[in-house]
Structure 1
Amino acid sequence: MIHPPCVGYTVVFADEATKDLKKIDRQTISKILDKIKLLISVNHSNLNIKKLKSKNLLYRLRVGDYRVIYSIKHEKIIIYIVAIGHRKDIYQKLDKRIL
């Protein structure tokens, strides 16, 4: 398990992440939102989560060919969704947002 379960946490989307979702088809959005809901469940150990090595305190949730990049703000009890996108370009998109 990469990080402890975040039961009771609130999921907050960055404005850019909300814009990212609008560019994705409805069926994929539904799958992405279902996986995000599982992040705040008691047992999320079966999710494909990795801590990003080059990015400080960011995690990657895999949803098919799409990736959800997020951070956990334990002091505020928040999961903060930073970016959502296709695996081919999400990391370049993330680099531009962080710089």
Structure 2
Amino acid sequence: MLSQNEQVFTETKPWFKLWSIYVLGFLVLILVGLYLYSQSLIRVEAPKEELGEKVIITMPSGKTVYTYENLIVEEKGKLLYKGELNTIDLTGGVVEHQNWE
């Protein structure tokens, strides 16, 4: 039979296992918190482009084009729509400043 001192020093301590789980959980929470905080600080936003007023261009064929005023350019006597990827010739169209939905 073991004495009381021997029992205290030889038995495994269950609180040690719990302590390591608490520390590990705390470290994981800190890492997740730092990650979320860093993501909230880094915001990449595209510059806002001023498009101007809404306009309707009525073509001689009867078709209508809905666009914004600053996307329409006049070069060499031609009325052109200049978007990000394409350019459309709108020569002969009548520009009306109307609010379209």
The reply to whether TM is greater than 0.5 is no
Considering only CA atoms, is the larger Rg found in Structure 1 or Structure 2? 2
Higher relative contact order (CA 8 A, sep 6+): 1
Report the TM-score range of the alignment, normalised by the length of the smaller protein. under 0.3
